[in-house]
Amino acid sequence: MSEMTDAEIELKLRDFFESNFQYLKESSGHAIDGYMREKAFQQVLYYWKKNRALIEKITRSEVKLSLPERVTPNDKISYTIEGIVDIVQEKDGTWLYDLKTHDIDRIKANITQYKEQLYIYSYIWKKLQGNELDNTAVISTTLPDRLEAAIRKRKPELIEQELEAWQPVIPIGYKEEEVEKIINNFGEVVEKIEKSEFCPPDVDVLLNKPAGMKSVFAVHICRNCDVRYSCSSYEKYLEVSKGATRNTMRKYMKPSAEERDEFIQGNMERE
Residue 182 to residue 202: CA distance in whole angstroms: 26
Residues in the chain, total: 271
Nearer to ligand SF4, 166 or 237 (CB): 237
CB of 225 to ligand SF4, least distance (A): 3
Q: Under a CB-based contact definition with an 8 Å cutoff, are residues 49 and 166 in contact?
A: no
Q: Which is nearer to ligand SF4, 109 or 221 (CB)?
A: 221
CB 164 within 8 A of CB 146: no
- Exposure string of 105-119, with b = 16+ CB inside 10 Å and e = fewer, is bbbeeeeeebbbbbb
For the bound state, the minimum distance from the C-beta of residue 233 to ligand SF4, rounded and expressed in Å, comes to: 5
Q: Please, which residue, 83 or 210, has the CB nearer to ligand SF4? A: 210
Handedness of CA 75, 80, 86, 88 (dihedral sign): positive
Q: How far is the CB of 206 from ligand SF4 (least distance, A)?
A: 6
Please answer whether residues 229 and 239 qualify as being in contact, where contact means their C-beta atoms are separated by less than 8 angstroms: no
C-beta of 95 vs 234, nearer to ligand SF4:
234
* Spatial distance between the Cα atoms of 204 and 188, rounded to a whole number of angstroms: 25
d(CA 224, CA 45): 24
Q: Is 208 helix (H, G, I), strand (E, B) or coil?
A: coil
* Nearest distance, CB of residue 237 and ligand SF4, angstroms: 8
Cβ of residue 215: shortest distance to ligand SF4, in angstroms? 13
Name the region of 178 (left: φ>0; alpha: ψ -120 to 50; beta: rest).
alpha
- Report in angstroms how near the CB of residue 205 gets to ligand SF4 at its nearest: 8
Judged by beta carbon, residue 13 or residue 221, the one nearer ligand SF4 is 221
| CB closer to ligand SF4 out of 49 and 102 | 102
Contacts to ligand SF4 by CB under 6 A: 200-201, 206, 221-222, 225, 227-228, 231, 233-234
